[in-house]
Structures are given as C-alpha cells and as structure tokens.
Amino acid sequence: MALTNASRKTTLWGTALIALIGLIHLLVVPEYFEFATYLGLLFILNALGSFASAVGIYLRKWWGWPLGVVMAGGAFFMYIESRTIGLPMLNEGWLDPPGVLSLVVEAIFVVMYLTRVRRRAPQGNEVSSAR
C-alpha cells in the first residue's frame, strides 16, 4: 500500500515528536537522579519507551502510536500530578523549561494521534458492507 503525502508527513512528524519527548527525558535524567533514584529510572524508562515508539511509528507498526500515547500521555499526566498532588522528594516549580517544552510536545503528539484515529474511524452514517 502506497503512503499518501499526508500519511508520510504524519508518520515523520509523529516519529520526530515522540523521539523529541524521549530525548528531553533522557537529557534531564542526571538532574532527576539527584532528587530521587526512582525519578531518574522513570525518566530512563520514558526515554526508552519513546524511542521504541518512534521506531514503531516510522516502520508503521500497529503498536507505535499507542505506545507513544502511553509515553506522552503518561509523562504529561505525571508532570501535572507532580506539581499539584506532589511526588516524594520532588519540589519543582511549574515553569521548569524542559518540563514545559515536554508538555507542549506531548500535547501535540497526543492531539496528532487522536486526529489520526478519528480520521480512520468509520463514520456513523456509513452503510456496512456486510449487508
């Protein structure tokens, strides 16, 4: 099946965005290991999952986008949670530059995924071909 130009762009943008999310998390690992080992390990896991997702999206594997949504959505949720409810041994402000950049990229990635899923979903007024 040949990729359309729009599909090719979506694949490349999705790959780039989730890879950027992984890179941001990887770059701040040393800083978060200083706060708490568990945070550094979570950031490493996010980076690995994000990079795996980038490979899956680029190779058009069915699991690439869903894995990316788990990584991006999970990181987005945990950033908000860490600044509201709090996490043990973490006292960060809302405007941490890598965190804000990551939030923006994560939100764009999730919106791209939802748009992609919505475009592929059958419309309610279509007649089933099984009849």
CB 105 within 8 A of CB 20: yes
pLDDT digits (tens, 9 = 90+) for 104-127: 999 999 999 999 888 877 665 554
Q: b/e map of 88-106 (b: 16 or more CB within 10 Å)?
A: eeeebeeebeebeebbebb
**Overall pTM > 0.85:** yes
Distance CA 106, CA 82 (A): 16
pLDDT digits (tens, 9 = 90+) for 57-102: 999 999 999 999 999 999 999 999 999 998 888 888 889 899 999 9
pLDDT digits (tens, 9 = 90+) for 18-50: 999 999 999 999 999 988 999 999 999 999 999
